[in-house]
Amino acid sequence: MSYTVRKFDAVIVGAGGAGLRAAIQLSEAGFKTAVLTKVFPTRSHTVAAQGGVAASLGNSEEDHWHWHMYDTVKGSDWLGDQDAIEFMVRKANECVVELEHYGMPFDRLDNGKIYQRPFGGHMSNFGEKPVRRSCAAADRTGHAMLHAMYQRNVKVNTQFFVEWQALDLIRDAEGDVQGVTAMDMETGEVVAFHSKVTIFATGGAGRIFYSSTNAFINTGDGLGMAARAGIPLEDMEFWQFHPTGVAGAGVLITEGVRGEGGILRNASGERFMERYAPNAKDLASRDVVSRAMVTEINEGRGCGPNKDYVLLDITHLDPATIMKRLPGIREIGIQFAGVDAIKEPLPVVPTCHYQMGGIPTNYLGQVVIPGADGPNTVVNGFYAAGECACASVHGANRLGTNSLLDLLVFGKSAGETAVDELKKGAAAHKPLATEAIEKTLARLDRLNTQKDGANVHETRLEMQRSMQKHAGVFRFNDLLKAGVSKIMEVADAVAKTEIKDKSQVFNTARIEALELDNLIEVAKATMVSAEARKESRGAHVRDDAHDTPETPDGRDDKNWLKHTIWHREGNRLEYKPVQMKPLTVDTIELKKRAY
């Protein structure tokens, strides 16, 4: 198999919010910039973000970045790096105003300023009371954001390679990054994109789980490529789950359903939340509800032939109320569960929603790994931003509306740092590491010639079911231990996947096999990291991490206030300290996370 070479100053993989924001920075500075994307930019998963973007503009009431910082550190259960968090919240206003100038149609107040609404976890005066901090464009914030940034990129001549599947990172013997190999889906042609700087903005990998709110494109391509090239992954045990996804489909049922009086029931019809949260009942926090649901299922009180879901019941509500206050819920029930929610309860399970971990970076967007300069040694020429990266601002759990902020701030930051490096002349085209490209060609050749191999669809399902069972929202020591062996068995099958269709043009079977190569790296990282972390923190909740005075809610700061670093080579873990020192203010000291 042959390949051609194309040279750019910068190559960005992914055209969601982070990739588009980074590209603006590079193209505006006059650098020849290529953006590779497997789907058209405005069909990236950023479109699905509805809640808004957090910024302490203070348009409706007093607000301050320091309060936003406190909320984010607390939300992260103190695993977030406080330098990166301070950087993000202080850049928020600037990034939102820039977006406004790009043409983002934010909702407005009567005085013309950007309208802001409250959102869970965002408070004023260091946790005192809710504050209006989220800037939104109706319920299409992500969609509007992508359009504004795509148009800006067109204006500044960013070169888009649409429907190109990135294959592998090109990393030379010194460990420097020189670009990526990629395949044009339309022709099957393989091209080495030889660049001075490479930015990954490939989004999350929520499809590792059986039940996921993520679109099918969220296959962790950047994480898989990084892992295969020897870049470790950080804090992969931390995944945010939403309690109510439609069982078997993953489609999100908004919390508003329980807010309007929806009740969770087990197989015997019992309102089980009364036992777990006698006061808040069905309106308890996301993690409490999710844990209760999993406990019911694990103890045999789940519903359906496999007893693997519980029911969300709104049949006692007035149909007119359902139609008025919960528009769309009836359609979702009919479309994805075959159930009319007015007449029958909906089958629901806790569902994977967001990946907190990722490719380790500093707040400048540079990828950092253990090396000669300590645990945060910069990888020359390599940057990452958005959900695929771990800056780490979300730590062990993310606040709503901080994800769009993350991709704006760190997309821009990665772009700015790359521009600085290019202007200094520090980045240059090094002689192309052809041996790295040969590895990609060998991988493709293996897939094309595999005989009697594993079925891609079945192997992916096996991975997803294993992740859901062994490393879901509520985790158990025995299941995690068994899960490590299980996921390595699945990985063996992934190494031998076979495709029947060998055609070159829009061969979706080949793309799905390549995506599975990426997903399995994320799955392994998640399982191994989760098994090893013997505490509960944020979204990582273990049955055997007990609530004691020294370990409130199972959080063990003495032993586990540290980032996990997973290496693909040898399935090896190491740890690095959390950055507790912010850039300019005092450390937000550890305390129990309570709302």
Partner 1 sequence: MAMDSAKQARIGRLKWHCRRALLELDIVFQRFWELKGDDLDEQTETTLTRLLALEDHDVWDLVNGRAQIDDPALTTLAEMLRNTCVPEPVKH
Active-site residue list: 286
Nearer to partner 1, 195 or 518 (CB): 518
Does residue 216 touch partner 1 according to CB under 8 A?
yes
Of residues 412, 396, 400, 435, the one with CA closest to residue 556:
396
The number of C-alpha atoms within 13 Å of 198 and in the hemisphere containing its C-beta is 30
Does residue 467 touch partner 1 according to CB under 8 A?
no
Q: Minimum distance from CB of 503 to partner 1 (Å)? A: 7
Q: Which residues contact 269 (CB under 8 A, 6 or more apart)?
A: none
DSSP string of 447-472? HHH--S-EEHHHHHHHHHHHHHHHSS
User: By rule CB under 8 A, what string of x and - marks binding of each residue 364-393 to partner 1?
Assistant: ------------------------------
Q: Minimum distance from CB of 537 to partner 1 (Å)? A: 28
Burial of 108 (0-12, 13-18, 19+ CB in 10 A): exposed
Q: Is 589 helix (H, G, I), strand (E, B) or coil?
A: coil
User: CB 365: neighbour CB atoms within 10 A?
Assistant: 28
Nearer to partner 1, 45 or 68 (CB): 45
Burial of 212 (0-12, 13-18, 19+ CB in 10 A): buried
Residue from 156, 249, 277, 491 binding partner 1 (CB under 8 A): 249
Nearer to partner 1, 38 or 258 (CB): 38
Residue from 279, 505, 549, 550 binding partner 1 (CB under 8 A): 505
Residue from 254, 295, 455, 507 binding partner 1 (CB under 8 A): 507
Residues 135/99, Cβ–Cβ less than 8 Å: no
Does residue 47 touch partner 1 according to CB under 8 A?
yes
Distance CA 178, CA 154 (A): 25
Nearer to partner 1, 261 or 304 (CB): 304
Nearer to partner 1, 393 or 522 (CB): 522
Q: Minimum distance from CB of 262 to partner 1 (Å)? A: 16
Residues 542/554, Cβ–Cβ less than 8 Å: yes
C-alpha angle 512/502/219, rounded to 5°? 10
Q: Minimum distance from CB of 188 to partner 1 (Å)? A: 11
Q: Which residues contact 424 (CB under 8 A, 6 or more apart)?
A: none
Nearer to partner 1, 43 or 469 (CB): 43
Does residue 304 touch partner 1 according to CB under 8 A?
yes
Residues 31/9, Cβ–Cβ less than 8 Å: yes
Between residue 389 and residue 448, which ones bind partner 1 under the rule CB under 8 A?
A: none
Does residue 297 touch partner 1 according to CB under 8 A?
no
Total residues binding partner 1 (CB under 8 A): 48
User: CB 458: neighbour CB atoms within 10 A?
Assistant: 11
Does residue 323 touch partner 1 according to CB under 8 A?
no
Does residue 42 touch partner 1 according to CB under 8 A?
yes
Nearer to partner 1, 44 or 440 (CB): 44
Does residue 267 touch partner 1 according to CB under 8 A?
yes
Does residue 518 touch partner 1 according to CB under 8 A?
no
Of residues 251, 246, 240, the one with CA closest to residue 312:
246
Nearer to partner 1, 37 or 195 (CB): 37
Does residue 253 touch partner 1 according to CB under 8 A?
no
Q: Is 258 helix (H, G, I), strand (E, B) or coil?
A: helix
Does residue 126 touch partner 1 according to CB under 8 A?
no
Interface stretch with partner 1, choices 126-134, 210-218, 519-527, 569-577 (CB under 8 A) = 210-218
Q: What are the structure tokens assigned to 532, written together? A: 């090893």
Residue from 57, 97, 156, 215 binding partner 1 (CB under 8 A): 215
Q: Minimum distance from CB of 161 to partner 1 (Å)? A: 15
User: CB 97: neighbour CB atoms within 10 A?
Assistant: 15
Q: Cis peptide before 392, with omega less than 30 degrees from 0?
A: yes
Does residue 251 touch partner 1 according to CB under 8 A?
yes
Of residues 525, 527, 518, the one with CA closest to residue 566:
525
Residue from 506, 547, 559, 577 binding partner 1 (CB under 8 A): 506
Nearer to partner 1, 209 or 363 (CB): 209
Does residue 240 touch partner 1 according to CB under 8 A?
no
User: By rule CB under 8 A, what string of x and - marks binding of each residue 325-354 to partner 1?
Assistant: --xx--xx-xxxxxx-----x-x-------
Q: Minimum distance from CB of 302 to partner 1 (Å)? A: 10
Distance CA 363, CA 409 (A): 9
Alpha helices in 46-121 (DSSP H): 65-75, 82-102
Interface stretch with partner 1, choices 59-67, 299-307, 553-561, 563-571 (CB under 8 A) = 299-307
Which of 260-281 are b and which e, b meaning 16 or more Cβ less than 10 Å from the residue's Cβ?
Answer: bbbbbbbbeeeebbeebbeeeb
Residue from 7, 32, 140, 446 binding partner 1 (CB under 8 A): 140
* Residues at the contact surface with partner 1, assessed by CB under 8 A: 38-39, 42-48, 140, 143, 163, 185-186, 212-217, 247-251, 267, 303-305, 311, 327-328, 331-332, 334-339, 345, 347, 503, 505-508, 511
